[in-house]
Amino acid sequence: MSDFRRALDDCGLNNLRFIGKWFTWERGRFLSINIRERLDWGVATLNWVNFCPSYQLEHLTHSFSDHYPILLDTFGKLKMSCINEKPFRFEAKWCLEDSFEEVIRRNWNDISRSVPEKLGRLGQQLQRWSGSKERDKKKNQALLEERLNCLYELDPTDEILGEIADIQ
């Protein structure tokens, strides 16, 4: 470990501040064998930090691996939202939704215009419908992430570790 620290010093690399939970690796679903460590780090030179002063390094809350992902956003808090209408893109995953065919029927039959006009209007309706579905998914994801964060704050027990695994 001292060789690794010396290599960081030789390269002028410093630990980056982060947000999120303190550990990036976890193994063991039961308290008796659960281990949590911070194995994954973000490092950078002072020149880089000065070049990207608004960076944000985040330890994300879940993964399919025993290592939790870390996300480096070089814009961090400076992100600007653009208000542009998205071009229509058909998503194949829509076909898997139970309500998809009904959306098509309802919007196609309600329009008494030319085919290009119907397609344009249908595209707008599908985007609204998809946005609603995505908002529902994000709400559910936010609730699950909130529950995960609450569970991570508690002292681990077999039940808590089991619930964490189920949510993940």
Q: What is the pLDDT along the chain (168 residues), one digit of tens a residue?
A: 899 999 999 999 999 999 988 899 988 889 899 999 999 999 999 999 988 888 999 998 876 788 889 999 888 766 654 445 567 788 888 999 899 999 898 888 866 777 777 888 888 889 999 888 889 888 988 899 899 888 888 888 888 888 888 888
pTM score, two decimals?
A: 0.48
Structure tokens at 26: 């976890």
The confidence score (pLDDT) of residue 111 equals 62
* Extents of the domains making up the chain: 1-84, 85-168
The reported pLDDT for the residue numbered 42 is 95
What is the full DSSP assignment across 31-53?
Answer: GGG-EEE-----EE-HHHHHHST
Report the pLDDT value the prediction gives residue 71, as an integer from 0 to 100: 92
- Which H or E run contains 99? none
148 by DSSP, 3-state: which? helix
Token reading at 19 = 């947000």
Q: What is the pLDDT of residue 81?
A: 46
